[in-house]
Amino acid sequence: MDKPDHNQKIGILGGSFNPAHAGHLEISLRALDILKLDVVWWLVSPGNPLKSDMEMATFETRMKSAQEKANDPRIIVSDLENTLGTTYTIDTLEKITEMHPEHHFVWLMGADNLAEFDQWKSWRKIATTVPFAIFNRPSYSKPSLEGIAANELAEHRIDQSQANTLYSLKPPAWVYCERTNNPMSSTEIRSKNKLQQEVTYFKVQETQELKDNLSPQKPLTTTELQELIINSLEDDKAEDVIQIDLAGKTSIADSMVIASGRSTRQVSAIANNLYRKLKHATDDGCKLEGMAKADWVLLDAGNIIIHIFRPEVRSFYNLEKMWAADFTPEKMLASSVGAEDE
C-alpha cells in the first residue's frame, strides 16, 4: 500500500552531479533502507561554491546524467535549486522546509563532505535546520570523524542502530552509516581517461545531439505523438487516462491528455519517463513544470498538453469539466464571472 503523501520522510542529496555516479545511487538506496525514507530527492545544483567551474559540465548535461543514473522510482531528480535561485545549502534548506512544513527532511552527505563541512556557509545553522546522515567513504572515514564539524557536533550523534528514528529527531541530530563502501567520486571519474567509463557519457551525448541537429529525423505526427504519450502512461501504470480534443476551443494545443498517479512518487516517475521520451521525439523538445512538488506536473509537447495529477488535486481542479466538449473560452469566462458574483 502506498504511503500517504503528507508527512513524508524525504532524504535530500545535493550536489553538482558532475557526473552522477554509482556512489550517489548507493548512498540513496542505503538511505532509503537504513533511514526508512519514503523518497530521496537529488538536487542538482547550478554550481558549487567550493569548486572551480572550469571542469563543470552544463546544468542540462548534469541533469541528464542524474536522470540516467537514478534508476529507482523512489529517487527523484530535481532542478529545484536552480528554480529557487539558491547557491548555498542553508538557503535551499530554509526554503524547502518553509515550503513543505508537513514533511520530514534528512540531509544526506558522503564522509568526504563531512570532512570539509566546517567550510560550508552557515554550517552550524544547517545542522540545526534538519537532521543529517553521513555515509562512509573509504579513506575519508577517519579524517571526517576527527574533523572540526564532527567534533563540535559529537554529542548530537546517534548510534546507527537508531538511524530509522533520525527523521523524527529535533536537530541538531546526525548519524554515521558505515555500510556504504563505494569509493567512486565525480572528481575521480573526471580525472580518468575521457574515453573511459562515465565521462564518455558527456561527449557521446553532445556528439549525438550534434548529429541529430544536423540530420533531424522526420517529426512525429500528432497521432504518433499521442500514441507515444498514451503508451508511456500505460507502461508506468498511470490511472484514469483520458484524451480531450481541443480543436476550436483554444490555440494553445490540439489535444490534452490527463492522467493520475497514486502518489507524488508515482506522479514524478510517470512525468520523468514521459519527459525523456518526448524530449527526443519532438523538434522543440518538451517543457516540464511542477516536478518540485509533484502533485500536478504539466508537460508541454507543442500540439499536446499533458497533465499528471495526484487524485485529490485532479478532483479539485477538475480539468475534465473545464474542457468538456461544450465548454468554450467564452463559457469559461462567464463561469468565472458568475463565481465571483456569488
* 3-state SS track over 38-99: CEEEEEECCCCCCCCCCCCCCHHHHHHHHHHHCCCCCEEEECHHHHHCCCCHHHHHHHHHHH
Task: Encode pLDDT of 181-234 as tens digits.
Answer: 544 444 444 444 343 444 444 444 545 554 444 444 556 777 888 899 999 999
What is the overall mean pLDDT for the chain? 80
- Is residue 242 exposed (0-12), middle (13-18) or buried (19+ Cβ within 10 Å)? exposed
C-alpha cell at 280: 527526443
66-70, 127-131, 132-136, 327-331: range with lowest mean pLDDT: 327-331
DSSP 155: G
Q: What is the pLDDT of residue 189?
A: 42
Residue type, 75: I
- Cα–Cα distance measured from residue 21 to residue 1, given in angstroms and rounded to the nearest whole number: 31
- Cα–Cα distance measured from residue 37 to residue 9, given in angstroms and rounded to the nearest whole number: 5
Task: Encode pLDDT of 15-34 as tens digits.
Answer: 888 888 888 898 999 999 99
Domain ranges in the chain? 9-205, 222-341
C-alpha cell at 128: 540545526
How, if at all, do strands 239-245 and 255-260 pair?
Answer: antiparallel
The CA dihedral of 193, 194, 196, 201, to the nearest 10 degrees, is 160
DSSP, collapsed to helix, strand or coil, labels residue 158 as: strand
Most confident of 40-49, 178-187, 319-328: 40-49
Does 55 have pLDDT greater than 80?
no
87-101, 171-185, 211-225: range with lowest mean pLDDT: 211-225
Burial 127-138, CB ≥16 within 10 A → b, else e: bebbbbbbbbbe
Residue 262, φ and ψ in degrees, nearest 5: -70, -20
Does 238 have pLDDT greater than 90?
yes
Nearest to 4 by CA among 257, 311, 333: 311
- Cα–Cα distance measured from residue 15 to residue 24, given in angstroms and rounded to the nearest whole number: 9
The arithmetic mean of pLDDT across residues 236-249, rounded, is 87
Per-position DSSP letters for 247-303, written without gaps between them:
TTT-SS-SEEEEEE-SSHHHHHHHHHHHHHHHHHHSTT--EEE-TTT-SEEEEE-SS
Domain with residues 222-341, CATH architecture: 2-Layer Sandwich (3.30)
- Cα–Cα distance measured from residue 44 to residue 27, given in angstroms and rounded to the nearest whole number: 15
CATH of 9-205, one of 3.40.50.1010, 2.60.40.1120, 2.30.30.90, 3.40.50.620: 3.40.50.620
Question: Position of cell 534538519?
Answer: 130
User: Structure pTM?
Assistant: 0.53
C-alpha cell at 66: 542524474
Q: What is the pLDDT of residue 200?
A: 46
Task: Encode pLDDT of 115-154 as tens digits.
Answer: 889 989 999 999 999 999 999 876 566 778 888 999 999 9
23-27, 65-69, 329-333: range with lowest mean pLDDT: 329-333
